[in-house]
Amino acid sequence: MWFRIDFHSSKPIYEQIKEGIKLLILSGRLREGEFLPSIRSLAEDLGVNLNTVARAYRELVMEGVLEVRRGEGYVVADVRREALQGFLEDALKNVLRDCKTAGISEERVIEIVGEVYGGEGGC
Partner 1 sequence: MLTVRGLKKSYGSKVAVDDVNFEVGRSEIFAILGPNGAGKTTTLKCVLGLRRPDGGEVRLTGSFSYLPEEKNLYPYLRVKDMVDLFERIGKNFKREKAISSLEKYGIDPKLKVSELSHGMKTLTYLSLVLAEDVDLYVLDEPTWGLDPLARSDVLDALRSLTYEGKSVLYTSHILSEVEKVADRILIMKAGRVIVQGYLDDVKASYKLVVSERELEGHLLKRTKNELIYLVRADRIPEGVEVRDASFDEIFEAIVRGERDVA
Residues that bind partner 1 (CB under 8 A): 7-15, 40, 43-44, 47, 49-52, 55
CB of 104 to partner 1, least distance (A): 18
The smaller minimum CB distance to partner 1, of residues 73 and 114, is found at 73
CB of 50 to partner 1, least distance (A): 6
The smaller minimum CB distance to partner 1, of residues 53 and 76, is found at 53
Task: Measure the CA–CA gap between 26 and 70, rounded to whole angstroms.
Answer: 25
Going by C-alpha positions, the residue among 35, 38, 32, 42 that lies closest to residue 2 is 42
The smaller minimum CB distance to partner 1, of residues 18 and 22, is found at 18
CB of 38 to partner 1, least distance (A): 11
At residue 91, what is the residue type? A
Task: Measure the CA–CA gap between 6 and 107, rounded to whole angstroms.
Answer: 34
Beta bridge pairs of residue 68? 74
